[in-house]
Amino acid sequence: MEAINIDFAALNLITLSPMLITLLGALVILCIDLIKSDLDKTLYVTLTILTLFVAIGATLSLNINERGLFNTILIDGVSILGQLLILAGSMLFIPLALTKRKFHDFSYPEYFALFLFMVFGFQFMAASDNLILIFVGLETASLALYTLIAMHNTKLAHEAAIKYFTMGALAAGFFAMGAAAIYGVTGSVEMDSIVKVFQSKMSEPSIMVPIIGGALLMIVAIGFKVSLIPFHMWTPDVYEGASASMAGYMSIVPKIAMMVVAMRLFGMYMELDIEIVRYTIIALAIITTTLANLMALVQNDVKRMLAYSSISHAGFVLVAIALDTTKGYSSLFMYYSLFMFTNLGAFAMLWVSRHKYNVHHDRFHHPYEKFAGMIKKAPVSAVIMAIFMLSLAGVPPFSLFWGKLYVLSAVVDSGYYAVAIILALNSAVAVYYYLKLIIYMFLKPEDLSQGNVVYANRSLALEMVIGLAALATIASIFYVDPLMQFITDLVGASGY
């Protein structure tokens, strides 16, 4: 038996610095709560933002292509991009806690500590290529997220949290089984050595079964988390139960983290030319986009509509992973960095209009009728909401048009013309339900019986977040090119 030799240079703590900062921030918040109890939530919000800001700074100053934590952390362009998007999305989300109405969630400092723990988990997922570490990150983040949803403390929120927890546990089980299958074949959990072992064993006759089996288990696990059809059942209910801001957050940041994992994992299979994985992903992507779009058409609640819409968007981007080109991967990040502002803005608009009790509908907080005639009551809000909807529909010159453009052009470049046409037609279908809201807001007569409740939850912080999101959506034409350049450089640098 050889003595285990641990080299502390391999720890390379600097590669962990963004995650450690998030973790420290969470611990500081817990400690402050311990020492002094009656502090205002603004303090915790600000500390959270500050922590995330510093973590962004630390991420930007990382050196590309370094390894740390005994070779389990991989800092390449993708992990930097992933972490940047995760941190930026979180930073955009957390001011939404400063609402005018008091909600149960934010009265606990633990909410903010848990939130930072969750971000910490997502960062780990984005920055590791070790299956076990990814799993640990996934679980850290998910457990925190379940709690955050439940802390909204309504009946629907509890239901949502339990539903999400059950489904999430199932997904985690699939992930663990997939990792076990891969480990069984290769004897490793590190992706770069897994690839090598796979390559050397490709000629063996019965190897394909565990390889593809592992891949399918992984697809299921990732499908649950990114909410691909048919693993999407939890999504609309969870979004409906969670607070609108949390739903917006869930449609972005956890998915980005999981997309990075999917990129790394399926990129490995593409490299081995296992075409069935590629076709499965494309098939899933098409099914997800199409069916989600159809289901969104019939929703009565704007929040549920947005839930289905974000499922459909997730399917749309998933195609980019199947392409395995630099342009494809870059377009994925591009899409998410634009989608982040628009979608979070749209959910924040719902959050602003949130009131304590259901006024307009027995079950839903945000039925379409609520927004009828909004142009008369709140013209600026109506226009901003319309801009978000148009952007989600992919109408130029708003930001998501560029995202769609890059994804579709990457698809066309790789020669999947049929896929590109299906995706484009899907966008046309989606226009209907986005336009429906616009028609309600602008053309339907005002529902006078309910009084003015559109602005019930308005506060300066929320307005600023929405303003920022609107600005990013409108002014996209000015920053799309440098952003794409930045993303392509980082993605290219990591060899994808």
Partner 1 sequence: MSNILTVLIFFPLIAAIFGFMVNQKSIRVYGITVAAAEFLLSLWLWASFDSTNPGMQFVEQLSLIPQFGISYYLGVDGISLFIVIMSTLMTLIGIIALSVKDDIKNMIITLLFLEVAMIGVFVSLDVILFYVFWEFSLVPMLYVIGAWGGNLRLYASIKFFIYTFAGSLVMLIGMLYMAFIYHSTTGVWSFSLTDWYSLILPFDVQKYLFLAFFLGFAIKVPMFPFHTWLPYAHGQAPTVGSVILAAVLLKMGTYGFVRFSLPLFPDASVAYILPVGIIAVIMIIYTAMIAYAQKDIKQVIAYSSISHMGVIVLGTFAMNTEGIAGSVFLMLSHGIVSGALFLLVGVIYDRKHTKIMSEFGGLAKSMPNFAVVFGVMTMAAVGLPLTIGFIGEYLSLAGFFKVSPTLTVLGGTSIILGAAYMLKALKNTFFGPITNPENENLPDLDAKELTALIPLVAIVIWLGIYPKPVLGPIDTTTKALVQMMHNKAQTKEAKATILVSKPKKEAK
**x-marked contacts with partner 1 along 370-409 as a string, rule CB under 8 A:** ----------------------------------------
CB 92 within 8 A of CB 345: no
Question: What is the total count of residues that contact partner 1 (CB under 8 A)?
Answer: 22
Which stretch, 38-46, 138-146, 218-226, 258-266, contacts partner 1 (CB under 8 A)? 38-46
Q: Considering the rule CB under 8 A, would residue 95 count as an interface residue with partner 1?
A: yes
Place of tokens 């993303």: 487
Residue from 57, 184, 379, 495 that binds partner 1 (CB under 8 A)? 57
Of 157, 362, 307, 364, nearest to 242 (Cα)?
157
Comparing CB distances to partner 1, the nearer of 53 and 455 is 53
Q: Considering the rule CB under 8 A, would residue 32 count as an interface residue with partner 1?
A: yes
Secondary element (H or E) of residue 145: helix 131-150
Q: Considering the rule CB under 8 A, would residue 101 count as an interface residue with partner 1?
A: no
Comparing CB distances to partner 1, the nearer of 52 and 291 is 52
Q: Considering the rule CB under 8 A, would residue 11 count as an interface residue with partner 1?
A: no
**x-marked contacts with partner 1 along 456-485 as a string, rule CB under 8 A:** -----x------------------------
Tokens of 71: 């070779």
333-372 exposure pattern, b = at least 16 Cβ within 10 A, e = fewer: bbbbbbbbbbbbbbbbbbbbbbbeeeebeeebbbbbebbb
Min separation Cβ 92 and partner 1, Å: 14
Secondary element (H or E) of residue 323: helix 302-323
Please give the full DSSP string across 239-265, using - where no structure is assigned. HHHS-HHHHHHHTTHHHHHHHHHHHHH
Question: CA 389, 228, 413, 340 torsion: positive or negative?
Answer: positive
CB 249 within 8 A of CB 344: yes
**x-marked contacts with partner 1 along 183-212 as a string, rule CB under 8 A:** ------------------------------
Beta bridge partners of 128: 73
Min separation Cβ 290 and partner 1, Å: 43
Residue from 11, 12, 20, 28 that binds partner 1 (CB under 8 A)? 28
Q: Which residues bind partner 1 (CB under 8 A)?
A: 14, 17, 28, 32, 36, 39-43, 45-47, 49-50, 53-54, 57, 61, 95, 98, 461
